[in-house]
Chain A
Amino acid sequence: MRKYLARRLLLFVPTLLGASILIFVLMRLVPGDIAEILVYQTGTESSAVQEKQIQQIREELGLDRPIVVQYVAWLGNALRGDFGYSYTQRRPVTDILKERFPRSMELAFLTLVVAVLWAIPLGVVSAVRQNTWADYTVRLVSISGLSLPIFFTGVLILYGLVRFFQYLPPLEFVAFVDNPAENLKQLIWPTLAQAYYISAPIMRLTRSQMLEVIRHDYVRTARAKGLGERAVVYRHALRNSLLPVITFIGWWGGRLLGGIVIMEIIFAIPGMGTALVQAVSYRDYPTVQAIIFVMALVYLTINLLVDLAYAWLDPRIRYA
């Protein structure tokens, strides 16, 4: 098990390196750098002054050096935990990560927990009561969750709260450690909006897996030996259905990170998503690179945890 873990952790290195090279190159392929954007969007100085200013900013940020030199310098610093300096926020990128990462992870964690707590039981009910009104309702809910784009659900919730309850979630962010109630008042709505979307395929997969498993001989045997229906479903059928579901949650959980960007903007949450959008629009390379790097790391970690969960769920993997 330790060897397996070490091997998986070693695989992090080339993956993260690949992600960092990809984002480094992609950011420089799109038109405009931070110097051009800051100077040209204002467009008030003469063109000669603008060109001088662009050159000054590029020199200050080292953007006048060859791209390979820039990358090696960035990587060297990143390995020492220094992700550079954000020109748009005028502070070290590490400070931005320390401030934003916990907020986004809180939202992601809440979303995943709500989605799983909601999707798996409903998926089970849908399978166990196949072709009843309960099954049809769950299927309808899951299909609509899949069909509605995540930003639309978010806006719909926001407008619905204002229109029907004259209520708007807090616009000012309060950290969980400072005031848990106020924090949850703001986060619960984007959590629900995202969980609705995220839970739909989990619900459907749980249902189809359960439908397959409950027809197996060992389930019939469990019933035949007199076990109660609850024990049959939850101890035997569900546990054996969960393996592919958990794989899927790991993969699907990664998509959460994309949704978080949108939710943070709609519900005014100052997380990594809002910082990323601003950094991309200003070509704030160090900030974009650091946030993408951290997001890639989170994605890899989720997948590693999923793989480790296999061993817990399936003794055959553990003993092998």
Chain B
Amino acid sequence: MTAAAPSTESTRTAKAWEAAATVCDPEIPVLTIEDLGVLRDVQVAESGEAVVTITPTYSGCPAMLVMETEILGAMRSAGFEDVRVKTVLSPAWTTDWLSDAGREKLRAYGIAPPVRASSSRQALFGKDAVDCPQCGSSDTERVSEFGSTSCKALYRCRACAEPFDYFKCL
């Protein structure tokens, strides 16, 4: 029986991760907290206690409480009764943690994903060169570095004239 124990435990942990990973960002419902890189760790102790570790995108992110509540709900539905959500600040969240799947989901949703390569930054004031998620044109301009949530900036496409959100680099 001793040989079976670790695999059972890792299966339980995998199941717990899967449950926590179904929770979506309330502000951008196409992204899960796993896509975002907000979900950092899930551990299930021998006692059955599950600890889900998350990290905020921005210090003042108002979605943290909602995510926490939804994680508790998702874990209970998956059969984990004893659940604790732990918030950590270190290492600080970065848009580099956004998964490739997450980036594609963002684009399909109409939000330009964060620009990765630093070479795409324009010299003046360090603005990112962002492609329009509607028509793909790179002829875009920043309207404001700040948008409807902390993680987004407002852009406008000069080619198709559509305004759009840009998930900015952090």
B is bound to A: no
B residues in contact (CB < 8 Å) with A: none
A residues in contact (CB < 8 Å) with B: none
